A = this chain, B = another copy of it.
Amino acid sequence: MDRKTATIQDVARIAGVSTATVSRTLSKPSVVAKSTREAVLDAVAETGYRVNATASNLRRQRTGTVIVLLPNLANPFFSQILAGLASVLTPAQLGMLIADTQSGPDPEERLRHYLTSGQADGLILLDGTLSPEALAIPGRPPVVLACEWMGHDLPSVRVENARGAALAVGHLARLGHRRIGHVTGPRGNVLTETRLEGFCAALQELGLPLDDHWVLEGDFSMDSGAAAGRAWLGMTDRPTALFLSSDEMAIGFLGEVQRAGIRVPEDVSIVGFDNIEIAQHLSPGLTTIRQPRTQIGVRAAELLLAMIETGSLTGPSELIEVEFIVRGSAGVPPA
Contact = CB atoms under 8 A, between A and B. Distances in A.
**How many copies of this protein are present in the complex?**
2
Contacts of A100: 83, 86
Given A87-B103, A139-B3, A98 B73 contact: no
A119 interface: yes
A54 B4 CA distance: 21
Interface residues of A, number: 60
Contact of A97 (B3, B95, B103): B95
A206 interface: no
Given A226-B281, A258-B283, A5 B97 contact: no
A55 B58 contact: yes
Contacts of A86: 73, 98-100, 103
Interface in A105-147: 116-119, 138-139
B83 A90 contact: no
Interface string A1-20: 11111000000000000000
Contacts of A281: 222, 225-226, 251-252, 254-256
20 contacts: A4-B139, A5-B139, A50-B116, A52-B58, A53-B63, A54-B54, A73-B80, A75-B79, A76-B79, A79-B79, A82-B98, A83-B100, A90-B99, A98-B98, A222-B277, A252-B281, A254-B281, A255-B280, A259-B283, A259-B284
